[in-house]
Amino acid sequence: MGDMADTLIAQQGLAAARAEYEQLGYDLDAMQMDYLAATGAKMLGLAALGMAIAVMVGFLASRTAAKVGRNLRERLFNQVVGFSDAEIQSFSAASLITRGTNDVQLVQMVTVMLLRMVLYAPILAIGGIIMIARTDLSMGWIIIAAVAAIAVIMGVLMKVAMPKFKIMQKLIDRVNLVSRELLTGLPVIRAFGREQHEEARFDDANTRLMKTQLFTNRVMTFMMPLMMLIMNLVSVGIIWFGGHAIDAGNLQTGDLIAFITYSMVIIMGFLMIGMLSIMLPRADVAAQRIDEVLECKPSIADPEPGKAKDALLGANGLPGARIAFENVSFRYSDGAECVLEDVSFTCEPGKTTAIIGSTGSGKSTVLKLAERFHDVTSGRITVDGVDVRDVSQHALRAQLGYVPQAAFLFSGTIASNVGYGVDDADEDRIRAAADVAQASDFIAERPEGLATPISQGGTNISGGQRQRLAIARALATDARAYLFDDSFSALDYKTDAALRHELSSRLGGKTVVIVAQRISTVLNADQIVVLDDGRVVGAGTHEQLMESCQEYREIAMSQLSEEELKGGDAR
């Protein structure tokens, strides 16, 4: 055979062996058919096994990714629920929604792809390399060059696209923010005829997102054509150099075809990795954004386990809570000036304390500090003599029934909203709270009564009805102090007076704190605290303040006539 290639020598040996078997009388056709049938059965079995494994891998990958998404959303929700107003504002509600939906979905999708490809693609490539090594290594340099070219292309594309992926997620936040403002502020937009302005604002945010997405998509679309070009160049190179090897008698045609097949298997493995790399950068950005939220430490935190003084709340046995502000000052984290400065007063059990002042004087901030939605900058707030920072938030807020300035209702029914703060609230408790809040009349007018449906935010009822249900929701709890943040502003004078009369007669020894704009709401309060520019400028009864506090007198004179001021409660 001389210097002939090993594969050609093997083929000549097979031909000689075949001739010998024929001389001995063996039926070679039958032997070959038996061999083909056995080999074919094995191949079909392996194909069926591969299909079953692929289905199982797909099922497990989808299930695992779904659980990853569920756990991420759960962790995000639990983290965000523990945020104070400061953290919510730093991220923005629109961004938090995007991180909990779009970003989690990206991570979930990449998890599926990773589990389905991260093992399969390397096994495919390694298997192809092993088979080429068993066939012929003389053209292995072509495969090495192709893999290097693929790596360079992927690196360049990722470097170009990665910054845009980060910008894209922020632009999605922006689109969500504008959309949310449009939907919630639609009545105001229509009232001022600003539809075109808002359309232009949304179009600007949407167009910027579209252009960024187009850029990244166009960059990524280069990957597949370039990969196919590399595959075709590899095929041409193998055929070119393999043809010369066949012509020289160093390679057989079958080996050349096998070499092409194995090389395509190797390149397909790297192509699959390349396809995955398209999704990885954006998913990496999404994962970083999710991690920002999860790693953010809430500024309002409970004391360490074992150090909380929850048991001291209500230890005096009084039905009402004693709330004291001791030299309290407060500024927002990004603010240069104090919103409240050196504020001191006490809300005694069984008495009504009113807080009044001009717009921006810090009235609502006082109640938010008492609820510990923010922590004081200096000074302290105590409930029953215990600093609110020394008790758990749950225990503190169980003592306080809070009615926010903007009455918000949840989708459900009147009963579910009024009984929201109490587990398994019975109908008698709900009706009693509704009676005090002057909500029973309009509830009785509804055919469904307490089962009347309430849309999200309470948009299917009037503002006054919404406020009365929010007040009833607080009154239905077992709180020892009730904080009303300008909660009577949407009520007419008659309903306002009736509600205050019911509060004074039915709440017994409980503490009541009312933030109000209307003098008529606070005339009969046991103590009126007057705030001006974040400072306490007066405290006392209506009569005392009319004599001693110029700011209070100006507010009173601007709202009520002299006869109403002398006659007490304005109707």
Q: Which domains does the chain have, with CATH numbers?
A: 65-295 (1.20.1560.10), 312-405+480-567 (3.40.50.300)
- State pTM to two decimals: 0.72
pLDDT tens digits for 300-321?
888 888 888 888 888 888 888 9
pLDDT at 566: 63
% of the chain surpassing 70 pLDDT:
94
Q: Which residue has the higher pLDDT, 98 or 2?
A: 98
Cα 472 to Cα 204: distance, rounded to the nearest angstrom:
44
pLDDT tens digits for 399-439?
999 998 888 888 899 999 999 988 888 889 999 999 999 99
String of DSSP letters for 249-310: TSS-HHHHHHHHHHHHHHHHHHHHHHHHHHHHHHHHHHHHHHHHHHHPPPSS-PPPTTT--G
Do the Cβ atoms of 441 and 415 come closer than 8 Å?
Answer: no
Where residue 571 falls among pLDDT bands split at 50, 70, 90? very low
pLDDT at 317: 82
Residues facing 355 on adjacent strands:
515, 529
Q: Decide if pLDDT at 1 tops 80.
A: no
State the chain's maximal CA–CA distance in angstroms: 135
Q: Would you give the distance in Å from CA 465 to the centre of its chain?
A: 31
Handedness of CA 432, 434, 439, 440 (dihedral sign): negative
Do the Cβ atoms of 372 and 393 come closer than 8 Å?
Answer: yes
Where residue 570 falls among pLDDT bands split at 50, 70, 90? very low
Angle subtended at Cα 293 by Cα 292 and Cα 297, rounded to the nearest 5 degrees: 100
What radius of gyration do the chain's Cα atoms show? 38
pLDDT at 345: 93
Over residues 474-496, mean pLDDT: 87
pLDDT at 358: 84
SS3 at position 139: coil
Mean pLDDT (the chain) is: 84
Q: Who contacts 74 (Cβ-Cβ below 8 Å, separation ≥6)? A: none
Q: Tokens 């995955």 belong to which residue?
A: 276
pLDDT tens digits for 43-90?
999 889 888 888 888 888 889 999 999 999 999 999 998 888 888 888
Q: Return the structure tokens found at 107.
A: 């991570």
Cα 110 to Cα 295: distance, rounded to the nearest angstrom:
22
pLDDT at 356: 92
pLDDT at 484: 92
pLDDT at 55: 86
Q: Decide if pLDDT at 221 tops 80.
A: no
pLDDT at 75: 93
pLDDT at 38: 93
Give the burial class of 41: count Cβ atoms within 10 A of its Cβ; 0-12 exposed, 13-18 middle, 19 or more buried.
exposed
Over residues 187-202, mean pLDDT: 84
DSSP 484: E
